[in-house]
Amino acid sequence: EPEVTQTPSHQVTQMGQEVILRCVPISNHLYFYWYRQILGQKVEFLVSFYNNEISEKSEIFDDQFSVERPDGSNFTLKIRSTKLEDSAMYFCASSEMSGALGDEAFFGQGTRLTVV
Amino acid sequence: RKEVEQDPGPFNVPEGATVAFNCTYSNSASQSFFWYRQDCRKEPKLLMSVYSSGNEDGRFTAQLNRASQYISLLIRDSKLSDSATYLCVVINQAGTALIFGKGTTLSVSS
């Protein structure tokens, strides 16, 4: 079964450092997403991406965050200068069609980011 | 009012029990609704979509009441393997993002 893969599974970084979280969405999917989940809290939307541009972003997704699809397979989330409160599980997801059509979003297993 | 609200539980039930979870959403323009399941420290996985007419998948039944902006999930004949957090999810108005509730935790015991 096709799956969304994320690397690394766990990353520890010092406050103020830049991190890049990597995702390989399912190959025929066109819509890509990043979500995060702080321990014990709900899954929060960060950004959606379609046709090589951001289609929506939340208030959390400020200037410290950026996304990129550098080639035909990878989808990355960059945090420029990490803060302690960025510590969370970051999930990448992809879907074949728009969520507005009720299409299922498939999630990767997540990257646990710990900022120290 | 929060976008998606759920009773956090936990619901502790014996095997074989029937349990129901409820969810309310604030945006009346939302068009797509889902129940996802999340096991501890794992990614969310789609359990079922929720349709206006109600839908059933084995032991699981989902209902949507658009007038009340209310979604429910009924689990019959609970199994130990049903222990998880159940996430109510609503598509935003633009159709570009899933909005998650905080989840309801279910623990099924033998």
User: Each residue of A47-72: pLDDT tens digit?
Assistant: 999 989 999 999 999 999 999 998 87
Residues of B in contact with A89 (CB under 8 A): 41
Q: Closest Cα partner for A74 from A58, A41, A44, A52? A: A52
For residue A90, the number of C-alpha atoms closer than 13 Å in the C-beta half-sphere is 32
Mean pLDDT check: name the lowest of A110-114, B24-28, B77-81, B95-99: B95-99
More confident residue, A71 or A45: A45
**What distances in angstroms separate CA B88 from CA A105, A115, B3, B22, B103, one per listed residue?**
14, 29, 11, 8, 7
Task: Report d(CA A98, CA A1) in Å as an integer.
Answer: 21
Residues of B in contact with A100 (CB under 8 A): 31-32, 91, 94-96
pLDDT above 70 (res A86): yes
CB contact under 8 A, B97 and A58: yes
Phi, psi of B21 (to 5 degrees): -115, 145
**What distances in angstroms separate CA A85 from CA A10, A47, B15, one per listed residue?**
16, 18, 39
pLDDT value of position B94? 83
* Minimum CA–CA partner of B51 in chain A: A102
CB nearest A43 (choices: B34, B44, B96):
B44
Using a 10 angstrom Cβ sphere, with 0-12 exposed, 13-18 middle and 19 or more buried, the burial of residue A106 is buried
Residues 6+ apart with CB under 8 A from B63: B50, B54, B71, B72, B74
Nearest C-alpha of chain A: how many angstroms from B97? 7
Please give the average per-residue pLDDT across B17-44, as a whole number. Answer: 93
Determine how many CB atoms are found less than 10 A away from the CB of residue B3. 15
Residues of A in contact with B105 (CB under 8 A): none
Note which residues in 46-65 of chain B have CB less than 8 A from chain A: 46, 49
> How high does pLDDT run on average in chain B?
93
pLDDT band at A17 (very low <50, low <70, confident <90, very high): very high
pLDDT value of position A103? 76
